[in-house]
Structure 1
Amino acid sequence: MDSFEFENGEVLNDVKVEYMTFGTPKYDDKGVLNNAILYAHGSLGNYSSMKKIFPLSCKSDPFDKEKYFFISISSLGSPGSCSPSATDLKNRFPKYSLVDVVNFQKQFLKEKFGIEHVLGLIGNSMGGFVGLTLAIEYPDFCDFIICGVSTFKVAGHDFILSKFVDEIITSDPDYAKGELTYSLIRTLRIACLAEFNFGLSKEALRDMSNIELASEFENFGNESIETDIYDLKYCNAACMNYDVEDDLDKIKSKVLIIACKQDPHFPPELDAIPMSKMIKDSELIIMDSELGHLCFNDLESIKNELNEFMEEFDDC
């Protein structure tokens, strides 16, 4: 995009947007795309996270590729799109909020596809933050939201986890230099390892031997150093300040909330269940999966429930 203006008034020019599309575009009498579904990924993911719904995209599946046209965008702050690492601005990148993430995607959809209304949005984890924020800021923009393993505010243990990650990063004196050093690589690895316990369920972790766990922990840390520490810092800060609890009554979209009984990040009793009571037109599915917070990789297990929800939007 030629430019993008942040909530705080800062502007970046020549803005890069990474995306992919999948499915069958359909148009109304005026030539406007009318069957677009946006996919919003989790923190520091990218467009390829949409692969989670591919197993449910065949004929008669809930996300039938012959019925719908999917657009997945690497969000603002993610390395493939406009981000601290992609712009090389590092710690000089404008601070952004979840509203900025929403506006970034909304502006791109308008400029690239001429879209001013989408059929729906599917988002997991931070993608759920994006979906709810979009539905609150622009109540008429989408007909439905599927909000998976997510919440209405970062609080309690999740807020402390975000604070802990932030503390690890900012405690390194080299962070302020805005350039990668050996110390920052080590700090990045430690900050990412703080998240290790919040993916798979406690049951899945307990089923592994300590030798297996130590190996998985080591591999997780080694893989994490491919992340940019500034991308992580900015994304973590945006999520840490996320709280839409007082605005859920503004949502007009139909909302499907998907939770997982074994999710260590957002336990249903603290997040999904209260949220389902605060959003007037909402449905709730609680999965039973030892994948825990990663249960969007097992959506086939709730195929029937997803089909039932998507039936309402078959005639798009």
Structure 2
Amino acid sequence: MSGTVHAFGDVTLQSGAILPAAQLTYTTHGTLNADKSNAILFPTWFGGQHPANDWIIGPGRALDPEKYFIVVVNNMGNGLSSSPSNTPAPADGPRFPYVSVLDNVILQRRLLEEAFGIGHLLLIVGRSMGAQIAFQWGAYYPDFMDAILPFVGSARTAHHNWVFLENVRGAMTSDPAFMDGEYETQPTVAFDRMGLVFDSWGLSQAWYRQGLHLAQGYATTKDFIRRQRPQGGGDANNVIASVETWQGADLSDNPLYGGDYAKALGAITARTIVMPSRTDLYFPPEDSEIEVSHMPNAELRVIESVWGHRAGAPGTDPVDTAFIEDAIRELLPA
């Protein structure tokens, strides 16, 4: 699980708050070539840490470390980069400041420049919250990359998506053991409730209709939702911090664009393939259609999957993963 930590010292965030001892934790795959022209950035997603990105990286894969230098960076709030669980007082636990998608992007650029001297990327690929980061990169630093591939994500959190995230927040805060974020042990009921929220929203009606939950060895739907879920070292305050970052995602919410969503999307000049899942309840294809309509060099390519938001995620349909990998190959030089 360990990665390399890049320290920035105290950082002023987009909100004006100070984040003490800011850090990004990352791993790399492959070798950076002499002219530093083979770099790819692959940020993590909500709740994910860098090992979760490994499923699509490897020799012969679209993200081939024998050809490319792939930087997998952990988003702030995920427990490895700056998070409530690892930040010193006075910004620890529930006092951790709001971190925006743009805050992540600005520090990710600093990481690339300070750690590797990378001034340009071949590609930024991101899933879910990683897709939000990819969109923000494209709008804020439009000349920094050749191509972007955001999948099952959005450039701005839709109202319906924001409401869904309130369910995740409520799962944490409604557990009496949460204690307003001042818990001494993790609120286990909170994580069980959050698992049920994700079972409800993260997978589609078609996925359940086809009985794919029962194909995993459960006799009934009740057995499936009552399964033992791995806690995985999760931290409730980290969940809250990540929810807030996701809820606030809007690539135009900064002085460069002043809230002009269409202008921010129009500034993304890199070749882009936007890949929503047909059955995603978080980021439906209709939202992606609107995004692409404002982008001068973008294509909409829908993943025709029943896996909902989990389309293309580790352990799901290999056909969906192959579809995404084909798009990645198309965006990269031969």
**What TM-score comes out, normalization by structure 1 length?**
0.85
2:329 aligned with 1:307 = yes
Alignment partner of 1:187 out of 182, 185, 190: 190
Residue aligning to 2:230: 223
Deviates more, 1:69-78 or 1:189-198: 189-198
Choose 176-185 or 272-281, whichever is displaced more: 176-185
Q: Aligned partners of 1:123, 1:227: CA distance in 2, in Å?
A: 22
Q: In 2, distance between residues paired with 1:171 and 1:50? A: 31
Q: How does 1:92-171 map to 2 (within 5 A)?
A: 92-171=95-174
Structure 1 position 20, deviation (Å)? 1.1
CA apart distance, 1:13 = 4.1
Deviations, residues 184-207 of structure 1 (Å, cap 9, x unaligned):
432343234222222233222221
The more displaced of 233-242 and 108-117 is: 108-117
Once residues 295 and 165 of structure 1 are traced to their aligned partners in structure 2, the CA distance between those partners, rounded to angstroms, is: 20
Which residue, 17, 21, 36 being the options, matches 2:28?
Answer: 21
Cα distance in 2 for partners of 1:305, 1:172 equals 42
Structure 1 residues 79 and 255, CA, compared in 2 at 3 Å: closer, same or farther? same
Q: Do residues 235 (structure 1) and 242 (structure 2) align? A: yes
- The alpha-carbon deviation at position 96 of structure 1 amounts to 0.9
Aligned to 1:86: 86
The 1:176/1:108 distance shift into structure 2, 3 A limit, reads: farther
2:311 paired with 1:295: yes
Separation (CA, whole Å) in 1 of partners of 2:223 and 2:239: 23
Percent sequence identity is 26
2:285 is the counterpart of 1:282 = no
Kept in 2: contact 1:150–1:271 (CA 8 A): no
Distance 1:65 1:83 in 2: 29
5+ long unaligned stretches in structure 2 = 1-6, 252-260
Aligned CA distance change for structure 1 residues 291 and 171 (closer, same or farther; 3 Å)? closer
Q: Shift of the alpha carbon at 1:131?
A: 0.5
Q: Which moved further from structure 2: 70-79 or 6-15?
A: 6-15
Report Cα offsets for 1:201-254 as digits up to 9, x if no partner: 32222214584433332236x324742111111111111122333321121211
Aligned to 1:75: 75
Work out the CA distance in 2 between the residues paired with 1:147 and 1:134: 11
Partners of 2:282 and 2:309 within 8 A in 1: yes
After TM superposition, give the deviation of residue 44 of structure 1 in Å. Answer: 1.8
Deviations 1:107-153 (A, max 9, x none): 22222112232222100000000011111111212111110011222
Range that drifts further, 276-285 or 205-214: 205-214
Aligned letter for 1:234? A
Residue 199 of structure 2 is matched in structure 1 by 196
Distance 1:161 1:225 in 2: 23
- 2:21 touches 2:87 (CA, 8 Å); kept in 1? no
Deviation at 1:306, TM superposition (A): 3.8
- 1:69 Cα offset (Å): 0.7
Contact 1:37 1:70 (8 Å CA) reproduced: yes
Go from structure 1 to structure 2 and tell me whether the alpha carbon gap of 1:10 and 1:225 turns closer, same or farther (over 3 Å shift): same
Assess if the C-alpha contact under 8 Å between 2:24 and 2:80 holds in 1. yes
Distance 1:68 1:188 in 2: 37
Q: 1:291 to 1:274 in 2, by over 3 A?
A: same
Seen in structure 2, the aligned counterparts of structure 1 residues 183 and 305 have a Cα distance that, compared at 3 Å, is: closer
**Consecutive unaligned residues in structure 1, runs of 5 or more:** none
In 2, the alpha carbon distance for the partners of 1:302 and 1:225 equals: 27
Alignment RMSD, CA only?
A: 2.5
2:257 corresponds to? none
Shift of residue 75, structure 1, vs aligned partner: 1.2
From the superposition, tell whether residues 120 and 90 of structure 1 become closer, same or farther in structure 2 (CA, over 3 Å).
same
Cα distance change on mapping 1:284 and 1:177 into 2, 3 Å: closer
Residue 259 of structure 1 corresponds to: 276
Count of aligned pairs: 303
Task: Determine helix, strand or coil for the equivalent of 1:17.
Answer: strand
